[in-house]
Structure 1
Amino acid sequence: MSVLQLYKLLIDERSGLNQNDCLLLTFYPCPLRHGSRETDSCLRKAQFHMDLWCYFTLQNWLLDFGRPLVMIFCPLEWFPLNKPSAGDYFHMLYNITTPFLLLKLIERSPKTLPRSAVYLCIITFVMGASIHLVGESINHRLLLSGYQLHLSVRENPIMKNLRPKTLIDLFELLQYYDESLGHCMWYVPLFLILFLYFTGCFTIVKAEKTMPISAWLLLGPSGLYYWYLVTEGQIFIPFIFTFFAMTATVVHQKRKGFLPDGNGLFLLYSFSLSLLLVTIWVACLWNDKVLRRKYPEYKECFSLYDQKRRGKMKAEDLLTVMRSLGCCPTLQELDKHLLTHKIDKSGELDFSTFLSVMHVQIQQENPRAEILQAVRLMDTRKRGFITASEFRARLTCFGERLTDQEVDELLSKAGVACDGQINEEGFAKIVTFLTS
């Protein structure tokens, strides 16, 4: 068939193309690498896959988001600790239905995608999700046994009495599989498959460059789920890279005269809505004092000493960092922290270990209670106060002795005269404030 005959065929009213679209198709023909299917895919109408997107969104909400809810509401008596829980069964179904729906999406792609890449992504996704299934299942049982998530494996009370000690190494390996390897092998292939599918969702037909009403109705639940996935799974980096790649693909294809069809727009808008929700979420929590104190402040100080950007800091800098965050560990306490985590003084520690050290140190240090207790012990006559001279004698003669100059400075900051009286409660509040 000549170019002229093809052009006449395309301007037929049944084709749904105007003359400008036909000229684009004439000068940007579809590749013939996979036979007639590629040629036909450019001419056929790529309908919105309402059924697949609906199933995909529904199973995400039920089997992924609903999994922890099921474990909360189901009585523990129904699922003994040595048997799979209700959440485990939901996770198993998720590991089956998600790759199946992803394969169906790939099958309906107007463009033939690289099969090897698709198969490798699906296999890796199933493997990563399965690793996460086992790790999360065991972590859930550890929580029921008293495991504390904010502590490292070695600092958890239920781990300290394990014998032999090598069992702790096994639990650390389990945590690595669950939190690091499993998450990476789960989310990265998922976003890569969605991106590969997105690259085939482009058309030159104007009628296909819009989303149907059903797609707009499904956009909210879809975008909200991706927001939950990003915030709960802490996977903002692969998410934002996928979004940027999709945006770059749109710009690249637009230069060729192609725009996303209904399916491509739905996926792009879902990610855009998720990014908007993540931005609002971060903005609302940006000035949260609790979060600022418990995590970001520690992360910022840790990052200052992570000079090689490897997620580790030198053990020799630990004392400086801890003091900059308000803790006052002694050299003996510092050595004990390093010994607990089997870290040499010339070694390094990661952020999770640093958080564990800070947690233990903060528990040991209760400045106000310690100061109040110390002042009360000095008040042997139970008068409710002590004299400055008694206070000076205690600090310069017992324990970690202070010099007279240091005592004078302390009394001066507390607003107490050298021959005055020190109220227990008031002095404790002042010193606590000064050392915080």
Structure 2
Amino acid sequence: MFAEVGKVDVNAKCPILMEWIIDEGSLFNGHAAPLTKDYEFPGFASFKYSLSHGGHFDEEAERFDFELYLKTDICDSFDMEVDLTFTINGEEPKKIVQKLRVTTVWLNLGSITACGFIPLWTDLFEVLINHLDKNRQITLQLSGTLTLLSFENEFKMHFENYSLGYLMLEIHDKDKDFIIVAADGKEIEVHKLALQNQSKVFTAMFENSWKEAVEGRVVIPDFSSKVIEFAIELCYRNYANCDLDSLEFIQLFLFADKYDMEEMKVHKLALQKQSKVFTAMFENSWKEAVEGRVVIPDFSSKVIEFAIELCYKHYANYDLDSLEYIQLFLFADKYDMEEMKECIKESIVLTPGNICEYANLYYEQKCEELLNYCIDRLIVYFQYSYPVSNMNILNNDIKLQFFERASISKAMKKEIQFDYYKNK
């Protein structure tokens, strides 16, 4: 995450068991390349895999292939190692052992995705048809292990909803109609629309004519301008390059949580869309909504501006230190920005090698939600026997919480039974 730069080593291995039953009529017809559902790499939810099939013309013959599709939307590249066995209708098992560096980046409506394919089977389409069973179906089975070796720590934070970002491209800076005063006194101009779109807190503020909505100004004293600016960048641009340290990252999450930024988008609508707090402010004509101004004395201008940028653009470049990042989370929490909070969580680069360090940090900063997130992840790591480093530095209170929760975890009490992921 923010405390590490460049390559992050992981070396986490997990089992893979997939089965895909395909009807003859569902096979590639030249117009689509079907995929199974996405499955998460255990303990690393942002890394996903699936099976795909498709065809292409080679001279006059149509060829067909099956592939293992790997992707993530939080970094530009990652390294995987596979040790797999692939079969079609239980015949002729094929062994596949390969290392893959995924560096391809797709830009899709503002979403940056690194993806790669591992070929499993390629032949003429007519050869594939010969594999059909008596039910005119093909059953694919894939078993073995996937190992996430490492990834490049060039992370971006982004959201799935892009419509506001395109709308805001047409809005000039002079049209910004709301001011957020951060903890460091910096005044950050934003569109209410961007805040409204990301924060339920801001939506309430504007729709209910809270004092801040009336004045067009809110003071956020508990978050720095860096954290707020990062959150705002996410509201606007849908993704952001992270330049926050650990504490700033926590602040970012707390900011999104505080302001109920469910989608993370600032215009009254921008704040309203992202924050339940701003929604109440605007809808109920709070003083801030009437004045078109809210004072936020507990957050710096940097944090507020970042949050606002997120509201508008749906992405933002990381430029926050550790404390500012935590402040950004606290800001999102204060203004009920749920989607921003989830986005912050997903962009936290927890690995077996650093999770104890981050758990201690969140504990020290009293960020309970992120601490619980670490504990949940630790339980997953233990389930899959990932080698967790530096358990000895873990705060004793955290250890107690971990063992209390692990003791009631069904998965920790019995051997994990693996079965094929079914697709049809």
With the shorter chain as reference, the TM-score category is under 0.3
Higher share in strand: 2
Higher share in helix: 1
Q: TM-score, normalised by structure 2?
A: 0.24
